[in-house]
């Protein structure tokens, strides 16, 4: 039996490489078909996200599993790239390392932002697609199902996933959500067209926000951003009016002076009727006068404010990591022990069959010699023989089980084969 993972991730490959090796959802389906065709004895699952491309293969017969070179060649052929350009970027994990790697990935311990929740659904989707394409099998089923369970254990038994560490995720998850119960009825105002503003918008849209207005000094850029986020662009002159009606404001302009001063805010304050206003000032220098944050109903956060919260979360998360790693290690050991024990199943079956035959022969001989035995006595004797066989088999099977917990029990299996003359 062989399990392996070959792929690349944000740890060892730059974005330029990952982009070239990435598979779109349609391409994943085609790649899985290709893998099944080229390596018919191997199961395969392909996980492709913006941070990683990983191909998991597994086969009962080690000969049926593709080698590192073969998988690299497959990826190169699929993307029509020379293999030498990608070979060094693809790393390999086999056996328990591959299992541990998948568990770590699914539990989001290997993510760029540790604890981000999307990866688990991506792992699930990768397995579901492989199942639909019939490239997954019992081995990959076992490892992916366990990976999902491990990820859930890490999520419930540690607070790792509750610690957000990126500024937009902290802003939305830890602060905006503590102010607003829902976002689908809130007005979001974006000032400027900064990259972090877009990332924040992504989080807000995930929460249900859809009423988005973009205001920028360049109306063209505002319109571009608004189109991308299905919002509306408005001219710079309408800023006070939109500031009055907004619930969430994200400032990302490149202005060198605050674009909203305290005096300007006071002019619109009365018209807001103290309605809560969440201001996320991601601009450097700041777009909003910090004194605005002292006004009633205003919750103003600058990059520095959120950075402090991120640092604290990062520190708290680091303290949670050992517990999460312990869960992954424990589950990996358990999974491998189960796997090794499962590999001994054919030998155990043959061992039992080997003892069954003489037992049946002896019973038949005994019953022929003692025809006066009634049905009850015969049943009792048969049960005694069964118990005897089970008791005799118990020590070698127990030894096999405990050996399987340490690794593949090849030596013991060979010994059993030779001692009991079990043939393959």
Give the DSSP letter string of 116-127. -THHHHHHHHHH
User: Whole-angstrom Cα distance, residue 115 to residue 335?
Assistant: 23
Q: Which of 33-41, 74-82, 227-235, 291-299 is the region at the interface with another protein (rule: CB under 8 A)?
A: 291-299
State yes or no: residue 281 binds another protein (CB under 8 A).
no
Tell me the CA distances in angstroms from 353 to 13, 272, 332, 356, one per residue in order: 52, 83, 32, 5
Cβ proximity to another protein, 77 vs 157, nearer residue: 157
How many of the chain's residues bind another protein (CB under 8 A)?
A: 30
Segment 236 to 275, residues that bind another protein, using CB under 8 A: 273-275
Q: Is 323 in the site for another protein (CB under 8 A)?
A: no
4 with 57: CB under 8 angstroms?
A: yes
Stretches 84-92, 168-176, 255-263, 347-355: which one binds another protein (CB under 8 A)?
168-176
Q: Tokens representing 148?
A: 């999902």
Of the candidate residues 305, 331, 332, 400, the single one contacting another protein (CB under 8 A) = 305
157 binds another protein (CB under 8 A): yes
Q: Is 174 in the site for another protein (CB under 8 A)?
A: yes
Report if residue 163 touches another protein, rule: CB under 8 A: yes
Q: Is 24 left (phi over 0), alpha (psi -120 to 50) or beta?
A: beta
* Region 39-58 residues binding another protein, contact defined as CB under 8 A: none
Segment 181 to 240, residues that bind another protein, using CB under 8 A: 181-182
Give the phi and the psi of residue 3 in degrees, each rounded to 5: -120, 135
Q: Check 15, 41, 50, 392 and give the catalytic one.
A: 50
Is residue 310 annotated as a catalytic residue, yes or no? no
Min separation Cβ 310 and another protein, Å? 9
Helix 68-79 / helix 25-38 crossing angle, nearest 10 deg? 130
Q: Is 178 in the site for another protein (CB under 8 A)?
A: yes
**What are the C-alpha distances in Å from 83 to residues 22, 71, 289, 382, 410?**
15, 10, 55, 64, 36
Minimum gap (Å) between residue 297 Cβ and another protein: 5
Helix residue ranges per DSSP H, 207-249: 219-228, 239-245
Q: Count other Cβ atoms within 10 Å, centred on residue 189.
A: 23
Q: Which residues bind another protein (CB under 8 A)?
A: 156-157, 159, 162-163, 170, 174-175, 177-182, 273-276, 293, 296-297, 299, 301, 305-306, 308-309, 312-313, 316
Catalytic residues: 50
């Amino acid at each position: 039996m062989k399990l392996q993972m070959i792929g690349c991730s944000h740890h060892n490959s730059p974005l330029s490489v990952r982009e070239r090796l990435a598979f779109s959802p349609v391409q994943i389906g085609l790649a899985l078909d290709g893998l099944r065709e080229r390596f018919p004895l191997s199961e395969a699952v392909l996980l492709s996200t913006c941070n990683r491309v990983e191909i998991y293969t597994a086969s009962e017969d080690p000969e049926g599993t593709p080698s590192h070179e073969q998988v690299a060649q497959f990826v190169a052929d699929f993307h029509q790239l020379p293999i030498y350009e990608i070979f060094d970027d693809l790393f390999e994990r086999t056996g328990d390392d591959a299992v541990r790697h998948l568990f770590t990935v699914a539990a989001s311990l290997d993510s760029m932002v540790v604890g981000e929740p999307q990866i688990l659904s991506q792992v699930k989707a990768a397995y579901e697609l492989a199942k639909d394409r019939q490239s997954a099998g019992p081995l990959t089923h076992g490892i992916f199902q366990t990976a999902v369970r491990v990820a859930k254990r890490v999520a419930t038994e540690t607070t790792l996933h509750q610690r957000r560490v990126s500024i937009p995720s902290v802003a939305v998850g830890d602060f905006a959500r503590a102010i607003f119960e829902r976002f689908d009825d809130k007005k979001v105002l974006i000032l400027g067209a900064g990259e972090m503003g877009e990332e924040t918008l992504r989080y807000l849209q995930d929460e249900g926000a859809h009423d988005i207005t973009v205001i920028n000094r360049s109306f063209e850029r505002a319109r571009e951003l608004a189109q991308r986020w299905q919002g509306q662009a408005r001219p710079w002159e309408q800023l006070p009016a939109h500031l009055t009606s907004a619930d969430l404001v994200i400032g990302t302009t490149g202005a060198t002076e605050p674009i909203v001063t305290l005096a300007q805010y006071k002019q619109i304050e009365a018209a807001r009727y103290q309605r809560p206003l969440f201001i996320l000032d991601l601009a450097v220098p700041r777009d909003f006068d910090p004194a605005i944050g002292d006004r009633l109903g205003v919750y103003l956060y600058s990059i520095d404010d959120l950075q402090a919260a991120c640092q604290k979360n990062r520190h708290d998360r680091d303290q949670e990591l050992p517990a999460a790693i312990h869960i992954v290690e424990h589950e990996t050991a358990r999974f491998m022990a189960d796997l090794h024990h499962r590999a001994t199943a054919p030998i155990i079956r043959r061992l039992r069959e080997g003892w069954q035959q003489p037992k049946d022969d002896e019973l038949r001989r005994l019953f022929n010699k003692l025809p006066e035995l009634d049905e009850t006595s015969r049943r009792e004797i048969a049960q005694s023989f069964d118990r005897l066989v089970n008791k005799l088999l118990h020590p070698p099977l127990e030894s096999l089980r405990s050996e399987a917990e340490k690794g593949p029990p090849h030596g013991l299996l060979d010994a059993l084969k030779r001692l009991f003359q079990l043939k393959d």
